[in-house]
Amino acid sequence: MMIVLKLLNTLIGIYMLLIFIRVLLTWFGSIDFGAPAEILRSITNPYIFWFRRFPVLQQGYIDLSPIAAMAVLSLVSQILNTAIREGRISIGIILAMALVSVWSAVSFIMGFCAVILGLSLIAYLTNQNIHTPFWSIVNSISQPLFYRTNRILFRTRIVKYRTGLIASIAVIVGLIICIGFLIKIAAYYLILLPV
């Protein structure tokens, strides 16, 4: 049984590597990688496309479905590693790992949002030309984030752009720290479940 679990875990690791390579290749869209890229897409697309059904994973220029796909594979790999290492697995361990994996994906997205807002703050403070392609993309991502967080933080009160950016970044970073701490405590107690 352990040999089967180890083999399955190895296959999951290889598949995660293939997804990662596929994502890297999309960054070089203008380069034609030919048949190897087609084979890679035919292997990974069915699994990744399953996650693309969820609109929350696709926001404007950002496609988070490969991250979600890899997070699920990572969770399964962690469960298999625990079963191999401990010789047993419990519902509490599975729940703890699922909670930590979901939080890992959510905190990554929140951290990405904080970085984008931080880039907007840098552009604002240094008077960058936001009409370049890079700053246009940053601006198109940051503006919806900025308006949503400021609507939550300040309701109908009007604040300066700089103040709103700083407050948004501070709240996101604060949430990452506080929720991360609570997730660690919850995971600890879930692992202790006897079932």
The string of pLDDT tens digits covering residues 134-155 is 777 788 788 888 888 888 888 8
Q: What token pair was written down for 156? A: 């109908």
Is the domain of 101 the same as that of 194? yes
Is the domain of 1 the same as that of 55? yes
Q: Residue 75 domain-assigned?
A: no
Q: Please, which residues have CB within 8 angstroms of residue 103's CB and are 6 or more apart in sequence?
A: 179, 180, 183
User: CA 168 to CA 111: how far, in whole Å?
Assistant: 12
Q: Residue 82 domain-assigned?
A: no
Compute CA distances 158 → 39, 127, 155, 168, 170, whole Å. 53, 22, 8, 14, 18
User: CA 112 to CA 173: how far, in whole Å?
Assistant: 10
Q: Please, which residues have CB within 8 angstroms of residue 177's CB and are 6 or more apart in sequence?
A: none
Is the domain of 9 the same as that of 96? no
Is the domain of 94 the same as that of 4? no
Average pLDDT of the residues of the chain: 86
DSSP label of 62: E
Is the domain of 109 the same as that of 156? yes
Q: Residue 119 domain-assigned?
A: yes
Checking 26-30 for CB contacts under 8 A at 24+ apart, the result is none
User: CA 71 to CA 120: how far, in whole Å?
Assistant: 28
Beta-bridged to residue 67, according to DSSP, are none
pTM exceeds 0.75: no
Is the domain of 180 the same as that of 135? yes
CB 57 within 8 A of CB 82: no
Is the domain of 61 the same as that of 98? no
The string of pLDDT tens digits covering residues 26-63 is 777 667 778 888 899 899 999 999 998 888 888 767 78
Q: Residue 73 domain-assigned?
A: no
Q: Residue 112 domain-assigned?
A: yes
Is the domain of 167 the same as that of 98? yes
Is the domain of 109 the same as that of 166? yes
Number of separate domains in the chain: 2
Is the domain of 60 the same as that of 130? no
Is the domain of 94 the same as that of 144? yes
User: pLDDT at position 179, please?
Assistant: 96
Question: 152 is in which domain, residue-wise?
Answer: 90-195
User: CA 12 to CA 24: how far, in whole Å?
Assistant: 18
Q: Which residue has the higher pLDDT, 166 or 32?
A: 166
Is the domain of 108 the same as that of 166? yes
Beta-bridged to residue 62, according to DSSP, are 59
Is the model's pLDDT at 180 over the cut of 90?
yes
The single residue listed with the structure tokens 């931080």 is 118
